[in-house]
Amino acid sequence: MSTAFDNVTVGRHTLRNRVVMAPMTRSRAHGPGASPTELMATYYAQRAGAGLIVTEGVQPSAIGQGYLATPGLHSAEQVAGWRRVTDAVHERNGVIFAQLMHVGRIAHPDNTGLAPVGASAVPAAGTIFTPTGPQEHPTPEPLDAEGIRATIADFVAAARNAVDAGFDGVELHGANGYLLHQFLSTNANRRDDEYGGDVAGRIRLVVEVATAVAEAIGADRVGLRISPANPFNDIVEDGHRETYLALVDALAPLGLAYLHVAEGADTEFTPVLRRRWSGVLILNPYTPDGWTGPEALKLIEGGDADLISYGALFLANPDLPRRLAEGGPFNAPDYTTAYGGDHKGYTDYPGLPDDQG
């Protein structure tokens, strides 16, 4: 039986514990050209005690950006900014993957100056925050064959940039209603070419991106995040079990570093996926009434997951693994400072007093 504080091998790394910092957009990339700042380096370094840090969503291209002040990995400035972050985390013996997040239709020209793209010309219900306040999501321009090739190339280039910036790997964001999830879905993807229609069509883009990125930087440096049947960002997935079982079967030969499951309401599907996927599984448990708490670590002992990822509690507790090991106490997150702003609610959550004197 493994516990949360046993080592685990993920790709090329032996992690010191099984507590993962879940990816969290914080919208503080105020460096030139959407590049990371010294403040971001401090924030991630504070959390380097995680077995693995997965960064906030990082756009692989300008068109992949949705929200304000999110960082990219498609320019020299951004690579240099991320280098400060990865150096700071490595100085504290941390391991850090960049989450590559292309938002697809969850975007707005007022934030990027660009018309959003998607699987099909189907807008997401709901609004996105822009400099003039919340606005409805526009109808995206469907990616044509050339656009799909360019998108895959952008993921590959960003993954190479991530390695150049000192990251230990990348996590492909296939969850929460962004571009890759839009292709997996049955409502945002209405295509009748080989990237839509049946299950084989809807999983194709994710498999092609994962394959291309794995070829470029090594499969052992590539993870994938999925969120089966999560309706966030106006996603509908009819027959989600069939879709995700086909997806993990198609990915199995690649030998990816891990699968990161952001669990949805169909919690009974998680053990099914667990049995089907022979690789490392990171679980972010379904917690509709709050956030993932210390009790989730029992899922490792029970064999339901190899690692557990924490969002809210890691946001508020820079030394979360130590607090979990010692049974708390835990700072509560303040969601009013989650997105945008300065160090307040970002780098000023206190750690436990250092009892080493």
Nearer to ligand FMN, 65 or 196 (CB): 65
Structure tokens at 224: 């994938």
Integer angstrom CA distances of residue 323 from 40, 90, 91, 260: 22, 21, 21, 23
**DSSP 8-state symbol, 55:** E
Q: Which of 43, 178, 244, 310 is catalytic?
A: 178
At closest approach, how far in Å is the CB of 94 from ligand FMN?
Answer: 18
**Number of residues engaging ligand FMN in binding (CB under 6 A):** 22
Long-range contacts of 143-148 (CB under 8 A, 24+ apart): 143/117, 143/118, 143/119, 145/193, 147/117, 148/195, 148/205
Query: Which of 225, 240, 274, 323 forms a contact with ligand FMN (CB under 6 A)?
Result: 225
Torsion, Cα 212 215 216 220, to 10 degrees, reads 110
Nearer to ligand FMN, 56 or 168 (CB): 56
Nearer to ligand FMN, 78 or 292 (CB): 292
Concerning whether 178 is annotated as a catalytic residue, the answer is yes
Nearer to ligand FMN, 307 or 312 (CB): 312
Query: Which of 311, 318, 321, 345 forms a contact with ligand FMN (CB under 6 A)?
Result: 311
Q: Does 284 bind ligand FMN (CB under 6 A)?
A: yes
Cβ pair 112, 135 in contact under 8 A: no
Query: Which of 110, 338, 341, 351 forms a contact with ligand FMN (CB under 6 A)?
Result: 338
At closest approach, how far in Å is the CB of 175 from ligand FMN?
Answer: 5
Stretch that binds ligand FMN, among 22-30, 120-128, 136-144, 216-224 (CB under 6 A): 22-30
| Positions 200 through 219 that interact with ligand FMN (CB under 6 A) | none
Integer angstrom CA distances of residue 140 from 100, 145, 185: 20, 15, 15
> 106-145 mask for ligand FMN (x: CB under 6 A)?
----------------------------------------
Q: Does 86 bind ligand FMN (CB under 6 A)?
A: no
**Alpha carbons 340 and 71: distance in angstroms, whole number:** 12
**Alpha carbons 162 and 166: distance in angstroms, whole number:** 6
Beta bridge partners of 277: none
- Beta strands 258-262 and 222-226 are parallel
Nearer to ligand FMN, 82 or 191 (CB): 82
**DSSP 8-state symbol, 221:** G
At closest approach, how far in Å is the CB of 24 from ligand FMN?
Answer: 4
Q: Does 22 bind ligand FMN (CB under 6 A)?
A: yes
**Alpha carbons 99 and 95: distance in angstroms, whole number:** 13
User: How many residues are listed for the chain in this entry?
Assistant: 357
DSSP 68-100: TT--BSSSHHHHHHHHHHHHHHHHTT--EEEEE
> 166-195 mask for ligand FMN (x: CB under 6 A)?
-------x-xx-------------------
At closest approach, how far in Å is the CB of 223 from ligand FMN?
Answer: 11
Long-range contacts of 288-293 (CB under 8 A, 24+ apart): 291/333
Q: Does 25 bind ligand FMN (CB under 6 A)?
A: yes
Nearer to ligand FMN, 51 or 142 (CB): 51
**Alpha carbons 167 and 162: distance in angstroms, whole number:** 5
The CB-nearest residue to ligand FMN is 311
State the residues that interact with ligand FMN by CB under 6 A: 22-25, 56-57, 99, 101, 173, 175-176, 225, 262, 284, 287, 291-292, 310-313, 338
Residues marked active site are found at 178
